[in-house]
Structure 1
């Protein structure tokens, strides 16, 4: 079975690799993927345009927005982001683009493989009342885009969602941790549960 992180941040990919559940780096592993941007990029049709429409540097924050997708890229991909060093950022665009196009194609190949794929999505601090709708949109989008693949799901949240009765599977509690890597014990328990087929 392939495990695929759909974010929302890099903690998911870090933990999947730490636990030996993922090997190769996939597209969403080191990005921040807010729900609307995730849904709009799941077909990977943007790959030819990635970084061809430029980027935007917000006034505050150590990241940039890639204009064709609206996804956020961080200093682990771009040196010079904290300093807003545009010359240094520009000098890295083609290398980062090549790396992420390769990851996009690899991820699409897995999602379209017709094999068993476990999707892992951590909603972090997303309000619980929004999560069920987001689960539904992720499940339906993947089923429509990749109908031959057998998807199962593991869902996580920083909030205790034990009172939430979701049709798309339980939302497991992954408490907020002081470090970006997350709580190792909580992740071991989380990934030890049976993924849900919907």
Structure 2
């Protein structure tokens, strides 16, 4: 594939798990849900499913709950694992799940009739060997749907996949533009969907994985101030990294857990809100749980009311995402052009399967 000149109508994830679908969504390369987005899928089984036109896919007699976790079920024919679909039980939810995946399968087959680039995150060295030994079959399967279709593999921890197969391309490097894959207008539409989707409701910090959004938020919403960060977990670490990358001063860290207070985190002593209440502060709440965030906001506002002159500016990721969602088309297109050619990375967290479009 000559990725510098080719342009595709669709980009579709072939798994092997949520990582690839999520990365594509964050970069404006994903415009709808397809069958392999949020499931764990061996590559050989993916090929068999496509070759059969999804025959027997999601047949009830092939599905069984995992003994150790009834919220997870497996398709025993294809060895697919579904981790995000059960709300109550497999028996109670089966019809809804079946209809959802039937829509996704139909959408997949129709879309792949148009020029499509497929993305596959390689699960392990065994799969790399499988790719090397089955190159002709892989290419034949995807090109049977449309001769212009291509596939790109992403081995763990690297974006350069030349060693995997001759028809793979290291797409996300400095030499290739994202615009060679999808037109900017299409990516703009996908980004707008991403910014208002339940992916960000599930985990508001996911938008930080997209460098232009991260940079824009820091430069336009957070710069010129020094910040306290409330939260010393994974999300606090992400916000800390964002501020440090932009040279924005971090005054300190706050945590509600008494066992953390007084300990060192990123070179600073973790304090309680009581230690800093009563002074004007810029506070970023880096906590996942929405109810906990609202509780902290109420606590801080009540504290400010008791202290004349105190006026804490409170921010969290939902605030940033709302502002990002309000950007104009020209601002988003400018950000997309900034990031053309950069590898998206593959975040470890997994979004829910309820995203539909």
TM-score with structure 1 length normalisation? 0.71
Provide the rounded CA distance (Å) in 2 between the counterparts of 1:95 and 1:150.
Answer: 34
Q: Where does residue 95 of structure 1 map in the other structure?
A: 96
Query: 1:23-53 deviations in whole A, cap 9, x for unaligned?
Result: 1111111111102211110135345663332
Q: Where does residue 32 of structure 1 map in the other structure?
A: 40
**Would the alpha carbon gap of residues 149 and 49 (structure 1) be closer, same or farther in structure 2, given more than 3 Å must change?**
same
Provide the rounded CA distance (Å) in 1 between the counterparts of 2:161 and 2:75.
Answer: 36
Q: Where does residue 105 of structure 1 map in the other structure?
A: 106
Establish whether residue 190 from structure 1 lines up as the match of residue 343 from structure 2: yes
**Would the alpha carbon gap of residues 184 and 138 (structure 1) be closer, same or farther in structure 2, given more than 3 Å must change?**
farther
Select between 22-31 and 132-141 the one with higher mean Cα deviation: 132-141
The equivalences for 1:34-183 within 5 A come to: 34-43=42-51, 45-47=53-55, 50-60=58-68, 63-74=72-83, 76-79=84-87, 88-112=89-113, 115-127=114-126, 128-143=128-143, 145-146=144-145, 148-158=146-156, 164=163, 166-170=165-169
Task: Name the SS for the 2:343 alignment partner.
Answer: helix
The question of whether the paired residues in 2 share the 8 Å contact of 1:124 and 1:156 is answered with no
Which of the pair has more CA radius of gyration?
2
Gapped runs of 5+ residues in structure 1? 81-87, 174-180, 193-198
Q: CA deviation at 1:119?
A: 0.9
Q: Where does residue 292 of structure 2 map in the other structure?
A: none
Q: Where does residue 177 of structure 1 map in the other structure?
A: none
**Would the alpha carbon gap of residues 170 and 133 (structure 1) be closer, same or farther in structure 2, given more than 3 Å must change?**
farther
Q: Where does residue 353 of structure 2 map in the other structure?
A: none
The question of whether the paired residues in 2 share the 8 Å contact of 1:46 and 1:69 is answered with no
Provide the rounded CA distance (Å) in 2 between the counterparts of 1:190 and 1:134.
Answer: 26
Task: Name the SS for the 1:42 alignment partner.
Answer: helix
The question of whether the paired residues in 2 share the 8 Å contact of 1:3 and 1:21 is answered with yes
Q: Where does residue 320 of structure 2 map in the other structure?
A: none
TM-score with structure 2 length normalisation? 0.42
Gapped runs of 5+ residues in structure 2? 1-8, 173-205, 212-340, 346-357
Provide the rounded CA distance (Å) in 2 between the counterparts of 1:48 and 1:110.
Answer: 20
Greater fraction of residues in helix:
2
The question of whether the paired residues in 1 share the 8 Å contact of 2:131 and 2:164 is answered with no
**Would the alpha carbon gap of residues 103 and 46 (structure 1) be closer, same or farther in structure 2, given more than 3 Å must change?**
same
